[in-house]
Structure 1
Amino acid sequence: MTDISNAQLVDRLKAAADNVSAKLGGLSDADVLVPTDLPGWTRGHVMAHIAHVSNAVARQVEYALRGELIEFYDGGQGARTQAIEMNAGHTAQEHRDYISAAFTRALSVLDGLDDAQWDLPISYRDGVVRDGALAYWRELVIHLADLQLGRGPETWSKEFCLYLIEFLSARVPGDIHLKLLPLALPPMTMGSGESAVSIQGMLTDIAAWLSGRTPTMGSLRAEAAADSVELPVLLPWPSAFAAK
């Protein structure tokens, strides 16, 4: 698990939220309606989801502080989908206001935690508050890339990419052993299957591929038994809620 401290994680979350807010500042109502690469989702859908997941993380922590567990989304996945569809068509300013309020709620409660409270149980993946905060970091960074506003995977930090690769190791099929060869960095291995596949490319591209996003810095090259092969088909996200 990533070795950044809880205080550093809050700093990363604040920076991610600031990046989202900065990129949303110049959007027009027409920009909100632009389709993204996520099937069936416009920018408005992504923006509605960012606000919704922010409130969901805050809700997990607020209940944890009371010694209670509650489902991640109020009303479950069905209510989540309905809320995103209902809010996707809001004006750009409505989205900005909603996201700003949600950021304030989530970051305020996380910033106020003491060391022991980061280990309080939450319902998300039967984990603790820190697990929810890490998930929030993933959601903010990845969905900002989905908005296609100049903060794509090529801007992801080495720290974030290495954490994301570690988290997404569960996407490797059971029969595959992946050897990741990020340029200018030590090799990494994922999976324990008998079918060995090596993948070479930029670290950000490897992280993008594992997260289901399009690599932006060049072509990833996959090889098996010294022959070029297609990139493996990955398993679903190891998450109670996925970045779509």
Structure 2
Amino acid sequence: MIDHVHDLRSVREATDRLLTAVAKLDNAALSEESHLPGWTRGHVLAHLARNADALVNVFEGRPMYASAEAREADIARDADRPLEEQLADLRDSWNRFLATTEAPQDWSRTVELRNGVTDSAARIPFRRLVEVELHHVDLNIGYELTDLPAEFTTREIEFLADRWSGHGGVPATALAAEDGRSWRTGSAGEPTVTVHGTAAQLLAWLSGRADKGASLGTSGGPLPALPPL
């Protein structure tokens, strides 16, 4: 069951960690490469701020972004700002998001995201948590997939495994974590491939991060290729 109150608390904690870490950087560090190809740390921070505003749009019934082109242009426009401006924007956009979630609303309603994707309003706080946690890792400032809270890692594996569930381009696949937990993804039917490793390694593969599954073991076939997120 989705618990948006719990997830909002988790987003607060994750945002505090992010802001504390970013405040230790300097202007030069923002122009250095992130873990995302073609993006500096400044691009990542700009995206996080604009994503918060985009989710406010979702809550208030507006298009998440005016267009894909506008989304990219806003990130490019804001990427080169100095640290003080980046931090202020992150805080301000977070406060706007938080104020929106504190307003009375029907959390059971369906809302529309990008590209026609829909979801329950109650799941939006978790979607914001995903943005904050994974992009904190993407900043390449020492926060790694192995540092993510265990609950978040488990839920994100479940979320991403479900995303590819029933996808005809991905073979039926079992995911086996070293601690004994398991999931499945891919096309319908009995899994033909089993992918095994740590939870962090499984998350890296599903989210297209770190070594993208190179450190995982498989049985029954090679590591399946996943579509882009």
With the length of structure 1 as denominator, give the TM-score of the two structures.
0.83
Tell me if structure 1 keeps the 8 A contact 2:153–2:200.
yes
Deviation of the 1:113 alpha carbon: 4.4
Letter of the structure 2 residue corresponding to residue 130 of structure 1: A
C-alpha spacing 1:216/1:224, structure 2 compared with 1 (3 Å): closer
**What is the match of residue 176 of structure 1?**
171
After superposition, residues 77-96 of structure 1 pair within 5 angstroms as 77-96=68-87
Alignment of 1:155-234 (within 5 A): 155-169=147-161, 170-171=163-164, 173-174=167-168, 175-191=170-186, 192=188, 196-215=192-211, 219-224=215-220, 229=222, 231-234=223-226
The more displaced of 117-126 and 138-147 is 117-126
Counterpart of 1:241 in structure 2 is none
2:42 aligned residue: 44
Report runs of 4+ in structure 1 exceeding 3 Å deviation. Answer: 215-218
- Cα deviation for residue 126 of structure 1 reads 2.5
Are residues 4 and 158 of structure 1, via their aligned partners in 2, closer, same or farther at CA, if it must alter by over 3 Å?
farther
Distance, in Å, in 2 between the alignment partners of 1:171 and 1:94 is 38
Q: Who is 1:122 aligned against?
A: 111
Tell me the CA shift for residue 108 of structure 1.
Answer: 2.3
CA–CA distance in 1 between the matches of 2:191 and 2:213? 27
Deviation sequence 1:163-216 (CA, Å, 0-9, x none): 212221223652511111101123222222566111111111101210011159
- Seen in structure 2, the aligned counterparts of structure 1 residues 49 and 180 have a Cα distance that, compared at 3 Å, is same
Which has the higher mean CA deviation after the structures are superposed, 40-49 or 176-185? 176-185
Gaps of 5+ in 2: none
Cα distance in 2, alignment partners of residues 184 and 194 from structure 1: 22
Q: Deviations 1:128-187 (Å, cap 9, x if unpaired)?
A: 322322211111111010001222111122221222122212236525111111011232
CA distance in 2, matches of 1:77, 1:201: 36
Q: TM-score when scaled to structure 2? A: 0.88
How far off is 1:117 after superposition? 2.1
The reply on whether 1:143 has 2:135 as its aligned counterpart is yes
Report how far residue 37 of structure 1 moved. Answer: 2.4
Match of 1:7 in 2: 5
On the 8 A contact 1:171/1:236 being kept in 2, the answer is: no
Structure 1 residue 236: deviation in Å? 2.6
Greater shift after overlay, 200-209 or 40-49? 200-209
SS in 2 for 1:132: helix
* Residues in 2 aligned to 1:212 and 1:176: alpha-carbon distance in whole angstroms: 17
Hey, what's the Cα distance between the residues in 1 that align with 2:138 and 2:11? 17
Paired residue secondary structure (1:176): coil
- Superposed CA RMSD in Å reads 2.2
The equivalent residue for 1:23 is 21
Partner residue, 2:227: 235
Give how far 1:4 is off.
4.9
Question: CA-to-partner distance for each residue in 1:82-102, whole Å, 9 max, x for gaps?
Answer: 000011000011100110101
